[in-house]
Chain A
Amino acid sequence: MTIDTVLEVTDLHVAYGQTEIVRGLDLRIGRGEKVGVVGESGSGKSTLALAVLGLLGRGGRISAGRVSVLSTDIARLPQRRLDAVRGKDLSLVFQDPLTSLDPVKTIGAQIREAIRTHQRRLTRSQQDARAVELLTAVGVAEPAHRLGQYPHEFSGGMRQRVLIAIAIANNPAVVIADEPTTALDVTTQAQVMEVFDGLVRDLGISVVLITHDLGVVAEFCDRVNVMYAGRIVETGPTGELFSHPAHPYTQALLASLPLPGRDRSAPLRWIPGAPPSLATLPPGCPYAPRCAAAHETCRTGEPALATVGTRPGGHSAACVLVDENRQALDTEESNDD
């Protein structure tokens, strides 16, 4: 792990009982990087977030693999040492800003609590000064006045800003945001995504954005990871992945979007069937039963991520077609020589 890697997930497996929800996943986040994890419901993207934060809860466990935050493997850390990392080097912003805040405590009390947990020596006035600084950083007007208010006095977008302020209270290296704008209007969503942009630009924080919204990912992220059935099936730089999707699943997802300017009279493409149950995965590629391009090989072995094309940037996809295309490409190139 280089010095510029702030979060590295290596061959992560997460299981609830006998069922594996995350099945061998690698993810590397560089300093100041904006990385997206997209997937539909049941793809395992939220489980990934919970596992990385050590919040799996009863029944869930990391069955194999490493989660390194600034070179510390936190997957096997005892609770007390984990508490020293969580909220400090690594923190989280949830989807629902209403249930994530305590309704009977002022915003100020909740921000001070986050500061105190990791910076015990600060006096009350130092904590207040820091809270004002944090609210200013996330674009809350009249911060000193608003510290004394309760969550119900804040709008949805403002509550989400408060949660971001709490998440960055201890200068974390990475913020994981799980569907942070799903409950918000597009106008408010645009404002909140600007706040995240500011964290990266001004504070050098890395952001992992977990979402189902391909549009938000397209605009915000440097890199995208597409999840299906507990694994990353395609990863690459955002522009590259959206302009040249290689995995049939990514292609189908993009084709199903009612993009502006799309022919209104043509029906939308959709993916037949449903994602497989992780308890009874079919042999071979988990997408094969729904894949228009599937053939016999797809039903025997599950493909690993393979490099797509010849351009650098780490675009790869887990599909036998990519592997075949690549072999064809290699042959072509050697013929050229």
Chain B
Amino acid sequence: MMTDTATRPVLSVHGLKKSYSSRSDGYAVLDGISFDVHRGETLGVVGESGCGKSTLARAIMRLGDVTAGSITLGDEELTEAAGGRLRRLRHRFQMVFQDPFGSLDPRMTVLQLVEQPLAVHQLGDRTERHARAIEILSQLGLDESFHDRVPSRLSGGQRQRVAIARALVTRPELIVLDEPVSALDVSVQAQVLNLLREEQERLDLAYIFIVHDLSVAEYFCDRIVVLYLGRVVESGTAQELFSNPQHPYTVSLFSAAPDPRRAVSTDDSAPGRIVLHGEPQARRPEQGCPFASRCPVRHDRPLCVEKAPAPDAYSVDGHNAACHFPGELKAAGGRG
């Protein structure tokens, strides 16, 4: 699933800044976010609540304006698109929400729900729309017996499949998946993840996957960006990030994830848990590294509180970390 870097990315985000304040110097919830997503690739976005994950998803979907920076879909600049032009672009980038109970109109049938995006974007005539909706539903394992059901007569997994069908039906290039499996039971979660991957391979789709479950992120994503208080603190391939994390925040975050294998392992080689003290403050400090106040290895170094590290302070083969002292914290070797 690795992509040729010579081809143009499906989506390119550069220097993205988003502030909810009307003042020009207001606090930026997202501050200088940059990344590319290529065809057939999944980019994972991980971080704690308040890090800006959902704001990022909304910004990419153009739900509201951005303060600065660019979001480019193919050759269209989304931040400049508005009104009719934006509406005509929307079928190319779709979103699947976390809550399959709140995101579907309870009065519409499954078939109506999946035909609706085509009608809204005026794609095809009535017969074509009908055929296309039936086709996509059957690919997702929802046969005729489901067509006339309303959402209340579906299980959580079936609802999420309908939501995915709605996103896929317009043949988008990019889908933003905002925690698409976190409301589902594990056995159903596995089925939905398999379906998402099958469709991605079949259609060469690009996914942006907002996720808090790190084992799902490791399994499903090709590349990952780690957000902390509105900034990317580390990015790289999933394999590289999970095997060789450099930023102390990434190391702590990954070590905090509960791991069923810890029940079985008896030796001390299993990664130890680093329990971070405190919770993220509401805002980044005026100066210095945003993670300095919680950092387990800072040891009151003046540099960390005085100067914010550059996004590529550590940069090796596409693996970047915004840390003055990368790689110092290791999770392995007992509990920190």
Contact = CB atoms under 8 A, between A and B. Distances in A.
Interface of A: 40-41, 155-158, 185-191, 194, 212-219, 238-239, 241-243, 252-254, 256-260, 262, 264, 267-271, 274
A186 B215 contact: no
Contact of B258 (A215, A239, A271): A215
B325 interface: no
Contact of A41 (B185, B212, B257, B276): B185
23 contacts: A40-B186, A186-B257, A187-B253, A187-B256, A187-B279, A190-B273, A191-B275, A191-B277, A215-B257, A215-B259, A215-B260, A218-B261, A218-B262, A239-B263, A239-B266, A243-B263, A254-B260, A257-B190, A257-B260, A258-B216, A259-B219, A268-B190, A269-B190
A271 B253 contact: no
Which of A215, A242, A258, A269: most chain B Cβ within 10 A?
A: A258
Given A185-B49, A187-B253, A216 B186 contact: no
Contacts of B197: 267
B187 interface: yes
B242 interface: yes
Contacts of A186: 48, 212, 214, 253, 256-258
Contacts of B259: 215, 218-219, 259-260
Nearest to A215: B258
Contact of B260 (A187, A242, A264, A267): A242
Given A158-B279, A187-B276, A256-B189, 11 more contacts: A187-B256, A190-B275, A217-B263, A218-B259, A218-B262, A256-B187, A257-B190, A258-B190, A258-B218, A259-B219, A259-B261
Nearest to A218: B263
B261 A253 contact: no
Contact of B219 (A41, A218, A253, A268): A268
Contact of A219 (B48, B155, B258, B277): B258
A258 B257 CA distance: 13
Interface in B233-266: 242, 252-253, 256-264, 266
A212 B275 CA distance: 22
- Name which of A194, A215, A259 has the most chain B CB atoms within 10 A of its CB: A215
Interface residues of B, number: 41
Interface string B275-315: 11101000000000000000000000000000000000000
A189 B187 contact: no
Given A268-B219, A270-B191, A190 B256 contact: yes
B215 A270 contact: no
Contact of A238 (B219, B256, B263, B279): B263
Interface of B: 48-49, 155-157, 185-191, 193-194, 197-198, 212, 214-216, 218-220, 242, 252-253, 256-264, 266, 273, 275-277, 279
Contacts, number: 121
A264 B156 CA distance: 25
Contacts of B275: 187, 190-191, 194
Where chain B touches its partner, the secondary structure class is helix
Nearest to A40: B185
B218 A260 contact: yes
A258 B253 CA distance: 17
A157 to B, nearest CB: 6
A241 B260 CA distance: 11
A185 B213 CA distance: 9
Which 9 pairs between the two chains have the least Cβ-Cβ distance?
A: A215-B258, A258-B219, A218-B263, A268-B190, A270-B190, A271-B187, A256-B190, A40-B185, A270-B191
Contacts of B258: 186, 189, 213, 215-216, 218-219
A155 B316 CA distance: 37
B279 A155 contact: yes
Contacts of B252: 187
A241 B264 CA distance: 9
Given A187-B276, A270-B194, A212 B256 contact: no
A260 B242 contact: yes
